[in-house]
């Protein structure tokens, strides 16, 4: 896993999709078995990449959240369901998600990589003009 210090957590309630806010989307596997609900995403802002889905599962009175490595997925808008192709993966193999390990995604995370690239491009242009 990429260092947790560089990864950020985004709550699904703050993410919009073509089917609306992602909060509480049902998550099912390719065989249409229930896996839980979509709780959020773990991203690497510097690389501008999604790294994990965070799936919430309920067992009796207990709520657990897990890091699900990226896999092929299909959004079923009418069902507000995210279908995951987790072939070869078992939920009991997924790491438990601990939000204390990840800082929340911020505006700085969004803008930082963009401005860094623009600065690098500008410096490159300046040096080639000299």
CB 113 within 8 A of CB 45: yes
pLDDT digits (tens, 9 = 90+) for 94-119: 888 888 888 767 667 656 555 555 54
The DSSP-derived string for 17-85 is ETTEE-TT-EEEETT--EEEEEEEEEEETTTTEEEEEEEEEEETTEEEEEEEE---EEEEGGGTEEEE-
pLDDT tens per residue across span 27-58: 999 899 999 999 999 988 888 888 999 999 98
Q: Where are the domains of the chain?
A: 4-129
Report the predicted TM-score, pTM, of the whole model to 2 decimal places.
0.76
Q: What is the CATH number of domain 4-129?
A: 2.30.30.240
């Amino acid at each position: 896993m990429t260092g947790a210090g560089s990864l950020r957590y985004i709550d699904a309630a703050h993410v919009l999709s073509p089917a609306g806010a992602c909060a509480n989307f049902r998550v099912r596997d390719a065989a249409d078995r229930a896996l839980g609900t979509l709780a959020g995403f773990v991203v690497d802002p510097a690389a501008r990449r999604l790294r994990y889905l965070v799936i919430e599962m309920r067992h009796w009175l207990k709520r657990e959240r897990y890091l699900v490595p990226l896999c092929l997925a299909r959004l079923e808008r009418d069902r507000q369901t995210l279908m995951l192709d987790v072939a070869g993966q078992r939920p009991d193999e997924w790491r438990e998600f601990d939000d204390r390990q990840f800082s929340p995604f911020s505006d700085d995370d969004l803008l930082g990589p963009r401005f860094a690239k623009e600065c690098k491009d500008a410096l490159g242009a300046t040096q080639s003009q000299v």
